[in-house]
């Protein structure tokens, strides 16, 4: 598998950190881009957007199958990671209020521990939802941070 791919419109590379780097046709680089499916259930291989860390769409991919095999594989790997998104129900503990920090959480799939490398790894979504990226590349979702218990909200607010 090649680690660097080239298409007429953009370049996509997996960095040593595991995140994707997008370079547009003008050479502008965006670190940590994320593929987002428009229709994850109805048409999982159609309508995929590459989104910057700031939430801006960088490119629209109508058909995953239209991409070169190496780009398609990178995106399929990244989408597979995103498909596994445990929902955080409670924050049990945080090792420190600085980063990196070790978080112990209760999820819909059981208890787990992960490392938060930086505050920028917590992304606000629509409403009061959050997406937390662990250093291992697993995404954790908080559907509604206002619905968390009070001790969990207090811990979380120190990072927002």
Rounded to whole angstroms, the Cα distance separating 106 from 80 reads 22
pLDDT value at residue 42: 65
Tell me: cis bond preceding 100? Omega within 30 of 0 counts: yes
Question: According to the model, what pLDDT value does residue 84 have?
Answer: 78
Q: Which residue do the tokens 């239209």 mark? A: 66
Euclidean distance between CA atoms 87 and 61, whole angstroms: 28
Tens of pLDDT along the chain (160 residues) come to: 344 444 558 889 998 888 899 999 899 999 999 999 998 756 789 999 999 989 899 999 999 998 989 899 999 989 887 777 899 999 999 999 999 999 999 999 999 999 999 999 998 888 898 999 999 888 899 999 999 999 999 999 999 8
Q: What confidence score (pLDDT) does residue 150 get?
A: 97
Q: Which residue has the tokens 């997406």?
A: 131
Full-model pTM = 0.54
pLDDT for the residue 6: 43
What's the pLDDT score for residue 8? 56
* pLDDT value of residue 101: 96
């Amino acid at each position: 598998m090649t680690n660097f791919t080239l298409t007429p419109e953009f370049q996509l590379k997996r960095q040593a950190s595991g995140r994707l780097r997008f370079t547009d046709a003008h050479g502008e680089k965006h670190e940590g881009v994320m593929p987002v499916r428009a229709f994850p259930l109805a048409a999982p291989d159609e309508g995929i957007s590459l989104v910057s860390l700031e939430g801006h769409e960088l490119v629209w991919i109508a058909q995953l199958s239209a991409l070169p095999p190496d780009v398609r594989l990178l995106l399929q790997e990244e989408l597979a990671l995103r498909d596994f998104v445990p929902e955080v129900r409670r924050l049990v503990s945080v090792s420190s209020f600085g980063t990196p920090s070790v978080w112990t959480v209760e999820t819909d799939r059981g208890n787990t521990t992960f490392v938060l490398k930086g505050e920028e790894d917590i992304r606000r979504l629509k409403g009061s939802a959050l997406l937390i990226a662990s250093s291992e590349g697993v995404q954790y979702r908080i559907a509604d941070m206002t619905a968390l218990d009070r001790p969990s909200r207090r811990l979380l607010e120190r990072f927002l």
